[in-house]
Amino acid sequence: MGLRYAGAVTPAEAHRLREAGEAVIVDVRTEPEFQQVGHVPGTPRLEWPRNGSRAELQVFLDALHAKYERSETLLFLCRSGVRSHYAAELAAHAGYEHAYNVLEGFEGEYGAGTNGWRAAGLPWETG
């Protein structure tokens, strides 16, 4: 696949790893997406920069470094698996050896029909 990070996992795999205490899911969606569309219970949110400027990416990395050790396994989750791909890539570039993208995202891939965390019937909540 040519990934620049540790790999990609399905929503079901992400759920299993989180429940086993082997990984942390980091939601990189916006606050409205997180609150109104729904989120994985107990999952921290670290918003991916909107325009991807160097300064915004550095703010994202600074927040990541403040919350997580580089040795932790981090599973990045967004709406469809796109922003989380970039977040995992940036984290890996910054020294996080166990950075993963959650495939399909929370709501499912664009144009792929019904998939993603919610469609898989995994735990989620709003608010």
| Polymer length of the chain | 127
Query: How many other C-beta atoms lie within 10 A of the C-beta of residue 10?
Result: 15
* pLDDT tens by residue, 82-98: 999 999 999 999 999 99
Residue 125 lies in a domain: no
Residue 2 lies in a domain: no
Enclosing domain of residue 40: 7-102
- Taking the C-alpha atoms of residue 52 and residue 32, their distance in angstroms, rounded to an integer, is 19
Residue 123 lies in a domain: no
Q: What is the pLDDT of residue 3?
A: 85
Note the pTM of the prediction, 2 decimals: 0.94
Residue 127 lies in a domain: no
* pLDDT tens by residue, 10-31: 999 999 999 999 999 999 999 9
Q: Tally the domains of the chain.
A: 1
- Taking the C-alpha atoms of residue 25 and residue 74, their distance in angstroms, rounded to an integer, is 6
Residue 41 lies in a domain: yes
Residue 112 lies in a domain: no
Residue 114 lies in a domain: no
Q: Report in angstroms the alpha-carbon separations of 3 from 10, 72, 85, 101.
A: 15, 19, 9, 10
Answer yes or no: is pLDDT of 65 > 90. Answer: yes
- Taking the C-alpha atoms of residue 46 and residue 28, their distance in angstroms, rounded to an integer, is 5
At 104, which amino acid appears? Answer: E
Residues 101-122, mean pLDDT to the nearest whole number: 88
Q: What is the pLDDT of residue 49?
A: 95
Residue 120 lies in a domain: no
Q: Give the CATH number of the domain where residue 27 resides.
A: 3.40.250.10
The long-range contacts involving 13-22, CB below 8 angstroms and separated by at least 24 positions, are 14/75, 14/77, 14/100, 14/102, 14/117, 15/40, 15/117, 15/120, 15/122, 15/123, 17/73, 17/75, 18/75, 22/73
Q: What is the mean pLDDT of the chain?
A: 94
